[in-house]
A and B are shown apart, each in its own frame.
Chain A
Amino acid sequence: MGRLILQRSILGVLTLLAASALIFIGTEILPGDLASAILQNQATPETLAKLRLDLGLDKPAIVRYFAWLLGALRGDFGHSLANGRDVLEEITPRFANTMFLAAYAAVVAVPLAVGLGLAAAIRQGGVFDRTVNVLTLMTISVPEYFLAYLLIKYVAVDLGWFPSLANVSSDTPFFDRLYYAFLPMLTLVLVIVAHMMRMTRASVLAVMASPYIEMAILKGLTKTRIVLRHALPNALAPIISVIALNLAYLIVGVVVVETVFVYPGLGQLMVDEVSKHDVPVVQACGLIFAATFIALNMLADILSILSNPRLRQPR
Chain B
Amino acid sequence: MRLLGHKLSIPAQIGLAIIALNLVMAIFAPLIAPYDQAAVLGDAWADPDRQHWLGLDNLGRDLLSRLIYGARMSIGLSFVITALSFFIGIVTGFGAAVAGGWVDQALSRLVDLLLSMPTLIFAFVILSVLGSGLPVLIVTIAILDSTKVFRLARSVAVGLVSLEFVEAARLRGEGWWWIITREIFPNAIPPLIAEFGLRFCFTFLFIAALSFLGLGVQPPDADWGSMVKDYRDMINFGYAAPIYPAAAIAILTIGVNFVVDWMLSIHSRGQGEGA
Contact = CB atoms under 8 A, between A and B. Distances in A.
Contact of A23 (B122, B205, B213, B232): B122
Interface in B206-257: 208-209, 212-215, 228, 232, 235-238, 240, 242-243, 246-247, 249-250, 253-254, 256-257
Contacts of B127: 274
B235 A142 contact: no
A158 B243 CA distance: 14
Interface string B116-138: 11101110111111110000000
B113 A19 contact: yes
A76 interface: no
B104 interface: no
Nearest to B126: A26
In the A-B complex, the 10 residue pairs with the smallest Cβ-Cβ separation, listed nearest first, are A142-B250, A146-B246, A26-B125, A274-B128, A141-B253, A282-B128, A252-B118, A141-B257, A141-B254, A289-B121
Contacts of A140: 257
Interface string A42-59: 000000000000000000
Contact of A26 (B122, B256, B261): B122
A275 B250 contact: no
A143 B121 contact: no
B11 interface: yes
A263 to B, nearest CB: 14
Interface residues of B, number: 44
Contacts of B258: 137
A64 interface: no
Contacts of B116: 15, 19, 293-294, 297
B214 A271 contact: yes
Given A19-B117, A255-B213, A290-B117, A141 B235 contact: no
Contacts of A30: 129-130
Given A18-B113, A134-B11, A271-B213, A146 B249 contact: yes
Contact of B250 (A141, A256, A294): A141
A143 B246 contact: yes
A149 interface: yes
A293 B117 contact: yes
A188 interface: no
B146 to A, nearest CB: 15
Given A141-B253, A259-B212, A27 B125 contact: yes
B236 A286 contact: no
A34 B265 CA distance: 49
B81 interface: no
A152 B121 contact: no
B71 interface: no
A283 interface: yes
B25 interface: no
B63 interface: no
B201 interface: yes
A236 B261 CA distance: 25
A283 B246 CA distance: 30
A149 B232 contact: yes
A26 B228 CA distance: 29
Interface in A272-288: 273-275, 277-279, 282-283, 285-286
Interface in B101-121: 113-114, 116-118, 120-121
B126 A141 contact: no
6 contacts: A23-B125, A27-B129, A37-B131, A145-B246, A146-B247, A273-B128
Contact of A142 (B124, B128, B237, B254): B254
Given A141-B201, A141-B253, A271-B214, 11 more contacts: A26-B125, A26-B126, A29-B126, A145-B212, A153-B240, A157-B235, A157-B238, A164-B235, A259-B212, A277-B131, A285-B121
